[in-house]
Each structure stands twice: as structure tokens, then as C-alpha cells.
């Protein structure tokens, strides 16, 4: 645990607002024999003042994607995840006229076929959630030496029914998530309704579905985001959420607080072999 807390403190000091400003979050993953931690940093983030400039290692991929004049997609961020390893995300405009064709074209140009393909998952979610808009908000990849090895997709869990508000309830969102997991070859539930409801009551709402796919193998993540942000309740809310998840980690939330971080998001992850939780800590606002 002390190693995890040291990672948090170092990440805030070196990459947070008082450092170089590249810190996205620190994650702690459960499942398996030990807790695992990772620091996510943005190499570049697209803004109107500073558009993305591709690093030389990714020139070939940039040329293949041909996004310069696209109105439906743009490269939104690039992260370096290790020596010769990168993560690239393309943000999609789900209400644009060219959405469907853009998704098909980008997926083909990434040259990393997976099953089921992103268009199939998007279609299933659109039908289940009753929305005419696309659900895929990001299409990305993990790369090694410039070649895509993993397709990473993110789908917004929103419905076509305005009465559901900003965050539709778990009983509306979990059935289509389970359906996607089944067509990905998964067995067993992603998350039980009681746990999902308890997290939502604390303010951790399911809002995003992520898939990491290599060929016919996939890992699913169901993301929950904290809303609203209440500065005086961040630690107590995190403690309560960990209890709901069956995790007894009081020193983690104490160290989080001391490092100036809070539990911004929770991911329920499932692979064919196992499942667990992923905790996402960000700097306090």
C-alpha cells in the first residue's frame, strides 16, 4: 500500500497542477493476487489553441487515418505508456452526418481486426438504448512501434428518453451492457443491480462502457463517474463506495486525501478469466 501512496504523491508533485500539468489520473486495480497501480498522463490534449501534433513515431499511422479535413472525428489525445508504446484516441461527433462512415473507415485503417467489430457493438447499444445518435464517442488504439495492437472503444450510455436525465438509472443501463458482454464471449454478470444501485445512490453513476479488444479476446469496463462534486464529502463518499464494492482499504482513502486526490471514478472490469475493480484518482478541484 505504501508504494501505491508514494506513486500518488509523486504523480501529483511531478505531473499535477504544480508540476508539468500532464496528470490525467492514478489508477488502482483489484483482481488477482495484488493491487496494481498506473499513472495516466496526457502527452498532448487537443484544444483550439494547441491542436495535436503527432510524434514522429506515429507519422505513418497519422497519414493512414487521414483526419485532417474530417468533420466527424479528430485526434483528441495521445499518451505515452512506455518505451515505444502509445495510446491514441480519436473523438467522434456522434450526431454528425458522417458518423457511421467515419467509424467504419477509421476502424479499417487502424488495421487491427477484432470480433465483434465496433460497428456491431454500437448498433446493439443504439437499439437497446433507443437512441438514433451514435453511442461510440471514442475510437482508439494501443500501439507498439507504430502498429496498433489493441482496439480501444468507448460508448456513451445515454438513452433517447429525456426523462432519464443526465444519468439513466442502472436498471436501464445494465441490460444492454450485459448484452454487449455476451456477444464479446463473456460469461456471468458484469455487475449485480444491488451494487450498481448502491453506487449510484452515493453519486457514482454508470455513464460509459469501454472495450479493449485483441482479435476475439476482449476486456470490458463499466465506468462510473462521481457527480456531484462535493469537496467536504469526498473521503467519506469514497469510503462508503469501497465498502459497497467489498474492499477494505482505509489507508488508501486516507493517503488519497493527504496527496490531494479524490476518487473521481470507478470501473468494473471483466475479462473471460476474472473480474475486479479499477479505481481512478484525480487531483482535487
What does the pLDDT look like over 7-55, one tens digit per residue?
999 999 999 999 999 899 999 999 877 899 999 887 666 555 456 677 7
pTM of structure: 0.90
Q: Any idea of the CA torsion for 108, 82, 266, 263, to the nearest 10 degrees?
A: -140
d(CA 249, CA 280): 14
Domain ranges, ordered by start, for the chain: 45-247
Encode pLDDT of 164-185 as tens digits: 667 889 999 999 999 999 999 9
pLDDT tens, the chain, 285 aa long: 999 999 999 999 999 999 999 899 999 999 877 899 999 887 666 555 456 677 777 777 777 777 656 778 888 888 777 788 888 888 998 888 889 998 999 999 889 999 999 999 999 999 999 988 899 999 999 988 888 999 999 999 988 766 666 788 999 999 999 999 999 999 889 999 999 999 999 999 999 999 999 999 999 999 999 999 999 999 999 999 999 999 999 999 999 999 999 999 999 999 988 999 999 999 999
List Cβ<8 Å contacts ≥24 apart for 118-126.
118/151, 118/153, 120/183, 121/153, 121/155, 121/180, 121/183, 121/211, 122/155, 124/176, 124/179, 124/180, 124/183, 125/155, 125/157, 125/176, 125/180, 125/209
Amino acid at each position: 500500500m505504501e508504494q501505491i501512496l508514494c506513486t500518488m504523491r509523486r504523480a501529483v508533485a511531478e505531473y499535477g497542477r504544480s508540476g508539468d500539468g500532464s496528470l490525467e489520473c492514478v489508477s488502482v486495480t483489484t483482481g488477482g493476487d495484488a493491487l496494481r497501480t498506473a499513472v495516466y498522463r496526457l502527452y498532448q490534449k487537443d484544444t483550439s489553441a494547441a491542436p495535436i501534433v503527432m510524434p514522429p513515431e506515429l507519422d505513418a499511422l497519422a497519414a493512414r487515418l487521414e483526419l485532417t479535413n474530417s468533420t466527424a472525428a479528430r485526434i483528441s489525445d495521445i499518451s505515452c505508456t512506455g518505451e515505444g508504446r502509445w495510446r491514441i484516441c480519436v473523438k467522434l461527433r456522434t450526431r454528425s452526418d458522417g458518423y457511421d462512415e467515419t467509424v467504419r473507415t477509421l476502424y479499417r485503417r487502424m488495421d487491427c481486426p477484432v470480433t465483434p467489430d465496433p460497428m456491431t457493438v454500437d448498433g446493439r447499444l443504439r437499439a437497446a438504448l433507443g437512441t438514433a445518435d451514435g453511442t461510440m464517442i471514442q475510437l482508439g488504439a494501443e500501439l507498439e512501434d507504430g502498429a496498433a495492437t489493441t482496439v480501444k472503444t468507448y460508448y456513451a450510455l445515454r438513452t433517447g428518453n429525456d426523462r432519464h436525465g443526465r444519468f439513466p438509472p442502472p436498471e436501464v443501463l445494465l441490460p444492454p451492457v450485459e448484452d454487449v458482454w455476451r456477444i464479446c464471449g463473456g460469461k456471468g454478470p458484469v455487475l449485480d443491480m444491488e451494487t450498481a444501485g448502491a453506487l449510484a445512490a452515493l453519486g457514482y453513476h454508470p455513464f460509459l462502457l469501454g472495450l479493449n479488444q485483441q482479435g476475439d479476446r476482449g476486456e470490458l469496463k463499466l465506468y462510473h463517474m462521481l457527480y456531484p462534486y462535493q469537496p467536504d464529502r469526498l473521503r467519506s463518499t469514497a469510503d462508503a463506495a469501497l465498502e459497497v464494492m467489498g474492499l477494505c482499504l482505509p489507508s488508501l482513502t486516507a493517503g488519497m486525501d493527504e496527496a490531494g486526490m479524490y476518487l473521481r471514478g470507478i470501473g468494473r472490469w471483466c475479462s473471460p478469466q476474472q473480474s475486479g475493480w479499477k479505481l481512478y484518482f484525480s487531483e482535487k478541484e
